A and B are shown apart, each in its own frame.
Chain A
Amino acid sequence: MNLPISTSSMTGLILAACFGFFFGFLLNKGGVTDYNVIVNFFRLKDWTVLKVMLTAIIVGGIGVAALHAMGLASYHIKPLLLGGVLIGGGLFGIGMAVCGYCPGTGVAAMGTGSLHAGVGFLGMLVGSIAYAYSHSWFKANLLGKGDMGEVRLNEAVPIGEFGWWAVLLVAFVGFVWSLARWKRLHRASA
């Protein structure tokens, strides 16, 4: 079998269905299709979102780095456009706290019967249209500002790709340990 499989082939389209299904299934089982869980993440009352995201990054990242080292995967690094990423990410955070979902969890939440996620999706369509019609202005006036290129953490701080993963893994274990400890203490005092 020749990899990668073209995403426009029939096999690629069938795989899209499998991967999408698995993704949506996991998002729901993880509880992140629930508005309350996402909002309480921002209120620092529920750590589910962080548990899911950080584990996905650690497990996914170490695996993909290994695949890459073996020549079985290639990287797709999005450029670090300081203006776009900071302002866009900032607006995204406000939107996520108000809407209670992000695009992926919102789509999945619609599937679990969340009608307000459906209304949020309509808002997302309008947001896309608004962006499309202002794209040329932002491209000329913002996106080019602070363009650092497709920079990776191991280029900024050259301790090697697996050096970075060792550091991140230690930080992650620290996070898991502290969370478990905090929960235990919290329960003991409650």
Chain B
Amino acid sequence: MEIPIKDESSNCCTSKRWNGYAVGAGIGILSWLVFAIVDKPLGMSTEVSKWAGWLVGAVRGEEAMLANSYWASKTPAFGYSTIFLIFTLIGATVSALLGGDFKWEKVPREWENQFGNGVGKRYVAAFLGGVLLLFGARLAGGCTSGHGISGSMQLAASGWLFFAALFITGMGTAKFLFRSN
């Protein structure tokens, strides 16, 4: 992927990064809109679980999937959240292409500094991390967006506690992983 060369005419969309506070304010304003217009807080992990349900349905048949007590209560169905997930990906792609941030990345810099440039090792870690992420999110009933942002901004105790719990174990894990660096 060719990275566009920036010139003097670059505007805000073609800059690679915005100020973190400005981006946070943007997500906050997005929350006003979703609460007021569609009455549905931002969230991501429930939709990922539904995709997993489709996968199981495709392999084992829809009946077998719906016999599961989790998917029976959160029935996978194409809808609002499916489109939201797909367009989150598209929005990031457009932003990255405009800002020259798009690149096919197999091993990120900080990982390479610690563990070398082997792709296999990084992929195994990414996969296992992903397993823990969604297993944890389902146990807790939400993820960084559902609990951490949407929950906390409604002053939900569950959101703040989730944020605190993930911060503590995440910090400990990073300390362990990057101990020699």
A contact set with B: CB distance below 8 Å: 3-5, 7-8, 12-13, 15-31, 33-36, 39-40, 42-44, 47-48, 51-61, 63-65, 67, 72-82, 84-117, 119-133, 135-136, 138-139, 142-143, 148, 150-154, 156, 161, 164, 176
Contacts and interface: CB of A to CB of B under 8 A. Distances in A.
A60 B23 contact: no
Contacts of A22: 26, 30, 91
Given A19-B30, A31-B17, A104 B133 contact: no
Contact of A60 (B29, B38, B52, B86): B29
A90 B169 contact: yes
Contacts of B177: 97-98
Given A76-B154, A96-B166, A120-B129, A63 B28 contact: yes
A104 B44 contact: yes
24 contacts: A5-B37, A15-B37, A15-B38, A16-B84, A23-B91, A24-B90, A26-B30, A28-B95, A29-B95, A36-B108, A52-B20, A53-B149, A56-B27, A63-B28, A80-B156, A85-B141, A88-B136, A94-B169, A95-B134, A95-B135, A111-B90, A124-B48, A130-B135, A131-B134
Given A76-B150, A85-B158, A96-B129, 12 more contacts: A8-B80, A19-B84, A26-B95, A61-B155, A77-B154, A78-B151, A91-B136, A93-B136, A95-B133, A97-B129, A103-B144, A129-B56
A112 B110 contact: no
A142 B139 CA distance: 9
Interface of B: 1, 15, 17-18, 20-21, 23-42, 44-45, 48-49, 51-53, 55-56, 68-71, 79-81, 83-96, 99, 101-111, 122-123, 125-171, 173-175, 177-178
Contacts of B149: 53, 56-57, 60
Contacts of B136: 87-95, 127
Given A5-B37, A63-B32, A98-B132, A91 B169 contact: yes
Given A77-B154, A133-B68, A136-B69, A88 B137 contact: yes
Interface centre among B101, B123, B137, by most A CB within 10 Å? B137
Contact of B91 (A20, A36, A106): A20
Contacts of B143: 92, 102-104
Contacts of A117: 126
